[in-house]
Structure 1
């Protein structure tokens, strides 16, 4: 066999190997925290829904809205999973390449009001005159918390003692150590406190505040324009995950996502999933609707944290979500 023919065959073979290796498109995703709240995302990964769409997902946890947005803006990530309010902050700063919300993952606040004592009949009036351990000032949980208090006739700064200077990671420990009669907590800490007899869930901030785009997938406008097919495939995989979560019971979902929460008991994961499903915190589809967007801005405005009101069409793109949901 002639040398050039052997060389040609080798080159074709190598090209074939490279092609098969590159058939899966890769997307780097930065999540703001690791949370059972994001169960449909982990289901989509574990059940192979991204692979079905020809995608590989490089998931990194960036621990905090500021760090997550920095990763996205500096091209350290292609997609960010973070609160929609961050896209408003970026837009208000006059970004040349705005951050666009294209798929919604959670549609309510994920925190709960935990009381130090059991209450068979809870009313919001019972918070008056107490010490309330709230979330960090300026964050979405704190904004929702104050919004709900006001909605229920409580002046957060006059009717009770509001503590907002405790670091997010230390809030559970502060309450467990005796600070406050009430605390605003995320899961699984809220359910864990119930199991341990440290506190008792008496209300849901998610139910009280209504539907808002609490956590969404977003990308820079340039990324969406350059990688439309990949963004559509990503959104379709998320929709599959959302459907799967609402079609299965909590025990099955917990088993699928447990690899992401190896230090959390399976039964506790089940309890948290059941609670979030019952109040429909997981979005049932990736479409971020206009009413949800307005609710978000109203809450931010009420808290004095809205830099400017941003039209829905400017930084929300529902084309992908509507297409995959048809």
Structure 2
């Protein structure tokens, strides 16, 4: 009887130990992490939710998020060494590849950019399409940012040159809202919640809606991946466990967002990023919800779409030999696929 009990006890102990081992996480090589964010709009929700709900901490990470006015500034922070990872546009990995910098996406936050491109109410009578924007002032998050690149493509399709308009960096948050309302710009490309704030009160009249499947097909020909988390290849090689921990937290956040109500999402965003109020933020989330990724992957089709868009107006990208498969690495999010919120 004692022998049978001993065997049973050993079996139970082995089962428990096996379960513990199965869920045990690797310890990140670099627990303190600095992320430079090109925006804190709704297309960056996975990162914000992962921070607010403690998913980064659960992975053993102490994450510090620094918000910048646009992607060009985050690249400066990354290459200058003050940040470890960028939360910014996937397109940066392609444009930087033409300059000899190897940046790699480790987790996508969206499958589409969630932008509204619109004209100010004051210019509504003059502007019916992008071809009417010649000579006008157009707001982007920052010169050289992904919003600037998208604007260049929209102008290109309309038969205009980038030099036909004046580009003004206004950010994607309060600065963008204020610039439109004050009449400092004539048109704007912006993500939510600012897009919803401005369209809801009539300050911005949409010309293009890149939050819907139809809108993305109209502008880009397909869904256009944008907001992602990326790092240098050297960082990924040096800190693979840290990178995996980040991917785990982001995928977990995306799965939580996929099941959450708009009100629950608004409740899980840091107060300083709500812009106006929770109810309005919930509305903005409804408008951009389909853009939020659910598995953190960049698809080959999405990558090619971005390359094609950039090549249309940027001869450097058009002529460059770029291995698109080297600009993103889905292995980390694929490994994180089994993690539940």
User: Same fold, TM exceeding 0.5?
Assistant: yes
- Provide structure 2 residue ranges, at least 5 long, that are not aligned to the other structure: 1-27
| Structure 1 residue aligned with 2:295 | 285
**1:81 Cα offset (Å):** 0.9
Name the stretch that deviates more: 280-289 or 136-145.
Answer: 136-145
**1:275 Cα offset (Å):** 0.7
| Alignment check: 8 A CA contact 1:133 1:184 kept | no
Name the stretch that deviates more: 210-219 or 190-199.
Answer: 190-199
Write the distance in 2 (CA, Å) between the matches of 1:143 and 1:69: 15
Write the distance in 2 (CA, Å) between the matches of 1:234 and 1:92: 27
- Over 3 Å counting, the alpha-carbon distance change for 1:241 and 1:148 in structure 2 is same
Q: How does 1:51-200 map to 2 (within 5 A)?
A: 51-95=57-101, 98-116=102-120, 129=132, 133-136=137-140, 138-148=144-154, 154-157=158-161, 163-169=165-171, 172-178=177-183, 183-200=188-205
- Over 3 Å counting, the alpha-carbon distance change for 1:135 and 1:50 in structure 2 is same
Q: Describe the SS at the equivalent of 1:29.
A: strand
1:43-85: CA deviation from partner (whole Å, max 9, x where unpaired): 1111121222222212222333232112222322221111122
Query: TM-score normalised to the size of structure 1?
Result: 0.77
Which residue of 50, 53, 63 maps to 1:47?
53
Q: Describe the SS at the equivalent of 1:283.
A: coil
| Alignment check: 8 A CA contact 2:103 2:327 kept | yes
Which residue of 238, 242, 265 maps to 2:250?
238
1:120-174: CA deviation from partner (whole Å, max 9, x where unpaired): xxxx9755546665345643223324545666xx33459xx96333233466545
**1:198 Cα offset (Å):** 2.3
Write the distance in 2 (CA, Å) between the matches of 1:178 and 1:24: 46
For the pair 1:32 / 2:38, whether they are aligned, the reply is yes
- Provide structure 1 residue ranges, at least 5 long, that are not aligned to the other structure: 1-21, 119-123
| Structure 1 residue aligned with 2:331 | 319
RMSD: 3.1
1:288-310: CA deviation from partner (whole Å, max 9, x where unpaired): 11111111111101122643241
Write the distance in 2 (CA, Å) between the matches of 1:178 and 1:70: 30
| Alignment check: 8 A CA contact 2:133 2:165 kept | no
**1:231 Cα offset (Å):** 0.9
| Structure 2 residue aligned with 1:297 | 307
Query: TM-score normalised to the size of structure 2?
Result: 0.74
Write the distance in 2 (CA, Å) between the matches of 1:274 and 1:126: 26
Write the distance in 2 (CA, Å) between the matches of 1:166 and 1:34: 19
Q: Describe the SS at the equivalent of 1:77.
A: coil
| Structure 2 residue aligned with 1:7 | none
Write the distance in 1 (CA, Å) between the matches of 2:292 and 2:266: 14
1:93-146: CA deviation from partner (whole Å, max 9, x where unpaired): 224xx222111112212321335569xxxxx97555466653456432233245
| Alignment check: 8 A CA contact 2:42 2:191 kept | no
| Alignment check: 8 A CA contact 1:300 1:306 kept | no
Number of matched residues?
292
| Alignment check: 8 A CA contact 1:103 1:318 kept | yes
| Alignment check: 8 A CA contact 1:213 1:296 kept | yes
Write the distance in 1 (CA, Å) between the matches of 2:155 and 2:96: 28
